A and B are shown apart, each in its own frame.
Chain A
């Protein structure tokens, strides 16, 4: 039998925030919250800080050493060219390209990490609760836990516009 989640519908962010606080107080397992925009109060309460910036630092360092290695290899080892007696290895003009490629590499790899981690990519089939989720409605998706009826009661008490069960 398909598993149904408890879903609460909210039109107001403030009411949603109240319901979220209640759910967290009662230690109810939440699946996710869906909405038309990111409200920072909800993000702070519901989600953990993303670790993407740490990955980005690693990508930045990789890009930096990679491009430095390439420039050193091409200018000094593979095909050294004497430009008017200037040294083969000259660090200052390398700085510009090292700077740019660090940004380029970090951007590309961070974006790919985001795609991989969030599993969003162009062409991904759409699976939404309702079309108004991208317009003006928030949905809180709650696991049945051990006390579904009690949870529905709490959600209604908190001011949810509608509470229903649905496969999602």
Chain B
């Protein structure tokens, strides 16, 4: 008889509820490993470099960046789009879990959501700095400002403000609500008064009441449902920042779905990188099994096919349109011109390398998984580089063509956001259970 075999067991070995608690909170309770301090030190160094770049940008202005009259959006917007893309995975996992009932995602969604929150925070920093005068950032919110002017609701840049603020708030809400029962577990296991008081404060007096659980489940399911269209809309709106302009290479209807798939693709790649690291750093391979990693690899394989198809369609439509500017951007600037190296790196990293996941052996080999996930993250950065720089640097008017190279300040801000991300994730790992303990207990018997 063929077992319905909804899926593999979510936990590799049979465990009692108490064993699950002990194993999953061990990273929060045990002595910190040496690599944690090493990571924190590296993160702090990166943060220091970022702080210097941030200070330089604030005090000396955007002239310290590599921007030119033609390339008005440089590293800042590349990195903004890259971080926002990475920030899509957390909420996507939560939706998998809550809406599509993919319960295997319970082992991953907590960390993926943490990653989302830190990635979106990093992303938000770039447009903020790009304003030139970030202390006036509140001008972008809809209120009658000093001249009694309102914001322009027809602008995709304002849509972005709304999209990212909503997304950040939603991600934090989903993340925090998901962890409340686990914070209560941490509170009740705390041995010292200070940590009990802090966990107690954030666990909202959670006492395990089934009546409260009922409302809580309804709320989280509902938030998952609300987040689903939001995830799709956020990167769609980021794509519209480009697509509603008239630049060759940007002015394309394929950009919104292409950006969305790219975001899920890069986000899942980052989740894979982090989960492999955590799986090896802590003894949680019973909870993040090879099958979990296999599933993420399958999603990446699918994403890679869609991305590859999008690249091909873009080039085909440029040729089919017969518009000389489109032809130039795609065939001269990207495929075989000033930006061909970056273009082919992008194609290799995003469309070719992940095809290795057609082989089961590759999906079960941690080294291959890890390396390909890093390759995808690099490739997705190059994708944003190609879209932005190749279109801006060589547009309609050859007399305004220019090269582009980032300055130390540009690089510093990017490195600084890595510092925020690394330090944020390490603090998360230290203080919050990296796997949703209560959800694992609830679903452990289902095998789905």
Query: Which residues in A have their C-beta under 8 angstroms from that of B159?
Result: 96-97, 100
User: Which of B14-22, B108-116, B382-390 lies at the binding interface?
Assistant: B14-22
A36–B218 contact, CB under 8 A?
Answer: no
- Give the complex CA separation of A122 and B158 in angstroms: 33
Q: Which of B215, B229, B237 has the most CB of A within 10 A?
A: B215
The reply to whether B219 and A52 form a contact with Cβ atoms under 8 Å apart is yes
Q: Mark A29-49, 1 if CB is under 8 A from B, else 0.
A: 000111111111011001111
Say yes or no: is B185 at the interface (Cβ < 8 Å to chain A).
Answer: yes
| A: contact size bracket | 35 or more
Alpha-carbon distance between A100 and B163 when the two chains are bound, in angstroms: 6
Cross-chain contact A104 with B169 (CB below 8 angstroms): yes
Instruction: Flag if B218 contacts A52 (CB, 8 Å).
Output: yes
Residue count of chain B within 8 Å CB distance of chain A? 62
B222 x A53 contact (CB < 8 A): yes
Complexed CA–CA distance, A121 and B205 (Å)? 7
B218 and A50 form a contact (CB under 8 A): yes
Residue B369 is within 8 A (CB to CB) of chain A in the complex = no
Residues on A with beta carbons closer than 8 Å to the beta carbon of B211: 32, 47, 118
Q: Within 8 Å CB of A118, what residues of B?
A: 211-212, 215-216
Check if A136 is an interface residue, CB within 8 A of chain B: yes
Contact A131 B188 (CB under 8 A): yes
Q: Are A120 and B201 in contact (CB under 8 A)?
A: no
- Cβ A128 vs Cβ B207 within 8 A: yes
Chain B positions 140 through 155: 1 when the CB is less than 8 Å from some CB of chain A, otherwise 0: 0010100011101110
Chain A nearest CB from B318 CB (Å) reads 27
Whether B364 sits at the interface, judged by CB under 8 Å, is: no
Chain B positions within 8 Å of A48 at CB level: 214
| B363 CB within 8 Å of chain A | no
The residues in A between 47 and 73 inclusive whose CB is less than 8 angstroms from any CB of B are 47-50, 52-53, 56, 70-71
Q: How far is the CB of A161 from chain B (nearest CB, A)?
A: 14
Residue in B closest to A38 when the chains form the complex, CB atoms:
B213
Provide the residues of chain B in CB contact with A123, threshold 8 Å: 201, 204
Known: A94-B153, A100-B162, A127-B207. Is A107-B216 also a contact (CB below 8 A)? no
Are A43 and B222 neighbours in the complex by a CB distance under 8 Å?
Answer: no
A3: interface (CB < 8 Å): no
Contacting residue for B222 out of A47, A56, A100, CB 8 A: A56
A43 in contact with B204 (CB, 8 Å)? no
Stretch at the interface among B46-54, B61-69, B435-443: B435-443
Q: Which residues B1-27 have CB closer than 8 A to chain A? A: 16-18, 21
Distance between A127 CB and nearest chain B CB, rounded to angstroms: 6
A-side contacts of B149, CB under 8 Å: 79
The reply to whether B210 and A33 contact each other, CB–CB distance below 8 Å, is yes
With an 8 A cutoff between CB atoms, is A144 at the interface? no
- Residues of B close to A136: CB separation below 8 A: 16-18, 21
Name A100-135 residues within 8 Å CB distance of B: 100-101, 103-104, 106-108, 110-111, 114, 117-118, 120-129, 131-135
Given contacts A100-B233, A111-B219, A114-B219, contact A34 B210 (CB under 8 A): yes
B208 adjacent to A128 (CB under 8 Å): yes
CA gap between A146 and B283 in the complex, in Å: 51
Nearest chain B CB to A95 CB, angstrom units? 10
Residues from chain B with Cβ under 8 Å of A104 in the complex: 162, 165-166, 169-170
A85 at the interface (CB under 8 A from B): no
Minimum Cβ distance to chain B for residue A29 (Å): 14
Chain B residues with Cβ under 8 A from A46's Cβ? 210
Nearest CB in chain A: distance from B391 CB, A: 23
Q: Is B192 an interface residue (CB 8 A)?
A: no
On whether the beta carbons of A133 and B207 are closer than 8 Å, the reply is yes
- Report A's interface with B, CB cutoff 8 A: 32-40, 42-43, 46-50, 52-53, 56, 70-71, 74-75, 78-79, 81, 83, 86, 90, 93-94, 96-97, 99-101, 103-104, 106-108, 110-111, 114, 117-118, 120-129, 131-136
What 4 pairs between A and B have smallest CB-CB spacing? A124-B205, A136-B17, A74-B150, A131-B188
Beyond A38-B213, A39-B442, A101-B166: 15 further Cβ-contacts under 8 Å? A34-B208, A35-B208, A37-B438, A43-B210, A43-B217, A93-B153, A97-B158, A100-B166, A104-B162, A104-B165, A104-B170, A120-B212, A128-B188, A132-B188, A133-B207
Q: Can you report 5 residue pairs joining A to B where beta carbons are below 8 Å apart?
A: A43-B210, A50-B214, A103-B230, A107-B166, A133-B188
